[in-house]
Amino acid sequence: MPKLKIAYSPCPNDTFVFDAWAHGRVPDAPRLDVTFADIDLTNGWAEAGDAPYDVLKVSYAVLPWILDEYALLPCGGALGRGCGPLVLTREAGDPADLAGKTVAVPSERSTAYLLFRLWAADTVPGGVGEVVVLPFHEIMPAVRDGKVDAGLVIHEARFTYQNYGLHALADMGEHWEHTTGLPIPLGAIVAKRSLGEDMLRRLADAARASVRMAWDDPSASRPYVLEHAQEMEPKVADQHIGLYVNEFTADLGEHGYAAVRGLLTRAAAEGLVPPLGPDALRFP
């Protein structure tokens, strides 16, 4: 059969997870035609419904808009603990200081943004002011240079924000875990329902096998990881993988599904996303 078209980010967690599968080392797995794209792009492609991708890495936040066409795979994505987005400022302060202030975010369709809005609803009296969408790599410089009052950052910025002289005002994941006791849902792997149930199961099996092969021999994926993380120090890439690739990557399980449904149910109650149907997350 022809290769399946897949798009995921060049971030270390994705290249680590998909290395074995993308390079044909997973026995009997469907072959892949890989495109690298920022998750804001893949979210848009999934929502528009007209992109030629069979499999996509997307934010959990976009699921309510795409689950008619795409099924959530029970593996391959990013959930975890102690790995949430951060709100950064130039000066240390109190979260209440953000009332009416301008905050840069990487996307209004991102899970980070949902977590931020839920946190702000609980923590910032009267809410924040203007929300500005900026490319991820521009957010920390914008905060440092005073172009915005605060910035919402994800992924490796957890390890590098001090290099910009910034302070972590709040940890969105810490707030989520404290209020729910659940892991933090970040990125999901989805596949077109039109592929059929048998193929969807094969895709899930391949993703699960690929991540287990990466764990069994981390050195095998290292060239692929570092090739696509050229601006990232190897130590930071390793920290990135350690934080975002975990037992939920191999299998969402009961707690993973509870986290996803919990996030989207709370977000729907705040009017941030459409409500999920009772079987929306069912696989396949």
Which residues are part of the catalytic machinery?
Answer: 155
* Under 8 Å between Cβ of 91 and 166: no
Which ranges of 124-196 would DSSP assign to H, the alpha helix?
A: 136-144, 157-160, 172-180
Please tell me the distance from the alpha carbon of residue 156 to that of residue 119, in angstroms, as a whole number. 21
Please tell me the distance from the alpha carbon of residue 267 to that of residue 259, in angstroms, as a whole number. 12
Please tell me the distance from the alpha carbon of residue 213 to that of residue 220, in angstroms, as a whole number. 9
Angstrom CA distances, 282 to 46, 144, 196, stand at 18, 43, 14
Torsion of CA 225, 70, 270, 80, to 10 degrees: -30
* Under 8 Å between Cβ of 157 and 134: no
**Two tokens at 44?**
């848009």
Residue among 250, 241, 200, 251 nearest 221 (CA): 241
**Two tokens at 204?**
């899930």
Which ranges of 63-102 would DSSP assign to H, the alpha helix?
A: 63-66
Would strands 86-89 and 150-153 be described as parallel, antiparallel, or unpaired?
Answer: antiparallel
List, in sequence order, every residue forming a beta bridge with 121; answer none if it has no partner.
none
Residue at 7: amino acid letter: A
DSSP state of 156: T
| 97, HSE (Cβ side, Cα atoms, 13 Å) | 13
